[in-house]
Amino acid sequence: MKINTSRNAGFTLVEIMIVVAIIGLLAAIAIPNFVKARNTSQTNACINNLRQIDSATQQWALEAGKKDTDAALGNETSIYNYIKGSKVPTCPASGAYALGAKVTDSPTCTKTLLGHKLP
């Protein structure tokens, strides 16, 4: 006596298409949120770097006996000695930092249109 137990294991084409559609829908929702989170974190990191540069400028001016109207430009090497490692921080969005013309001027980033500026 022969018992006929034939099972076709596997998924149908419709089941696979539904799974692919669900994965595509989740990706369409998640990817813009990841991009927004990355941009927000780069902006926050840049603002913190600008604060660090501004703080170094203020410390340099205080210890060097500079006035508020004195120039900060031209003294970059002296100012950056007040930052850990004596290095200029780098903008995570590939921007470049510049000191203000005077001691009281805030440093700037080339990505100011993206919100990379001190409040």
d(CA 82, CA 89): 12
At 73, the amino acid letter reads L
d(CA 36, CA 40): 6
Question: Residue 50 domain-assigned?
Answer: yes
Per-residue pLDDT, averaged over 87-98, amounts to: 90
Residue 94: half-sphere exposure toward Cβ, Cα within 13 Å: 0
Per-residue pLDDT, averaged over 43-66, amounts to: 92
Look at residue 6 in the predicted model and tell me its pLDDT.
Answer: 62
Question: Residue 51 domain-assigned?
Answer: yes
Q: Which domain holds residue 84?
A: 14-114
Per-residue pLDDT, averaged over 54-64, amounts to: 92
Tell me how many domains the chain contains.
Answer: 1
- pTM (predicted TM-score): 0.76
Look at residue 68 in the predicted model and tell me its pLDDT.
Answer: 85
